[in-house]
Structure 1
């Protein structure tokens, strides 16, 4: 890679979450359980949505893609975290670090697009129920998902290019458990002012570009729900949207705070990173299944069918 010609550093040292071996063993068990729950929860949703014909709708098509993304997202960061918790020397190659940056951005970026589409899907279903089939055709849903992957991939390539030509001369200690650009940029002995400005612009455009449609969709949804005379109808509509709104707030809140706030090297940086990259992929299946009667009924039908 071009980076090797400019840099004397061939690997980075990750400080991780703790330097106490006893605490690291406890953390290993804790995050291993989280990772297994993430795999089981998201795989369960994928299987149930695939197996149950009642869930072959645009809403659950997007939800199955979200589950697949969460499987990929957690697998980018958690296995390396688990490995480092049992290792004395927590190192990652420069190439491995850049690969982790790329895959974190492409999975997180695609998830942001997907959450935006899910909000539009709820807007179409609640505000225009008679036109829903036309507004959310199968072809449109597939195209939206493909465009999401394409735009997030392009975005990720640009972000990695910000790092490839930087020089890393002496300092190779990353005060984090994964490679994140806010923690990586300060290690460079190059001028990073332009790189930082470009990164902030990309995050703002991507973050607010995907969150604004969510805001406007839910503004119209809430306005429509308030006009429903039936208390039962209002309650059903709110329950349908509340799961998605919780997932949106958790994901966008922690992600934007982590990348737009200055890196302090404190435990707060680790908390926000853990929230969007470790905990949210585990929580999403719980949010969408525990609060969704259709999913719970589909799980029951699937278990009865196969067991």
Structure 2
């Protein structure tokens, strides 16, 4: 963020939140802006391609302790959460993770990797020639009512990729538990009329920071969204064959630690430390994925660019 950007946002903050609230918003952005300058210096980061796995199931914006709590409370429903571990992510945000994971020096590995993703940032870095298969599910399975890409179409396409291609490596990038929470939305999701206009949904981490929501309320919604996507992970694991499946995340979230909320591009341990659970998959053939042709595809050209920006805005990125 440039000085001009900060001044402009500060002015908007004073108009929206008044003198005290506007000053608080301005100082927070100034503080986070200072932390951003240190982000590349975070120690110990590992590219996931340097670890051993056949299938990587990537949860978006998932904290280590959130998975631990769900595993403790609901372990019988998610028996694959029995081999916990951690990784220091290469990025504090999805775009950083994608840029630094699919780097130029990884071209040989990428050509043998299929990537099924619900995260719209893929369009800024990748194209179909970069990977064995690039399936950008967010382009055609976006849910206006939920304001996000649901888990099931990602699961369906991941099953199809594994059965059709049997790739050396498969990365499946779910959008949950990143807000908005599908089962427990806080303020409702975005829709086609409000998408990208800042109406209908605000990032719960920002609302928590401003005192509009309690930590307990945000954490409950966050946990419900994790359980929602883990239900699909359980289905996926019963419908693909893989000896070594890893459940991880692109980044985590801060919940007020160091005065930071959400996942700005800062060197924060709650954002950079992510789960690393090792399990396996066995295709029982019990489920046939829904692979009906999409009704509408965002092509990334012309009006498509605006639609992509709207989706990123709906997720709180812009």
User: TM-score, normalized by length of structure 2?
Assistant: 0.31
| Structure with greater proportional helix content | 1
| Structure with greater proportional strand content | 2
Bigger Rg over Cα = 1
User: TM-score, normalized by length of structure 1?
Assistant: 0.32
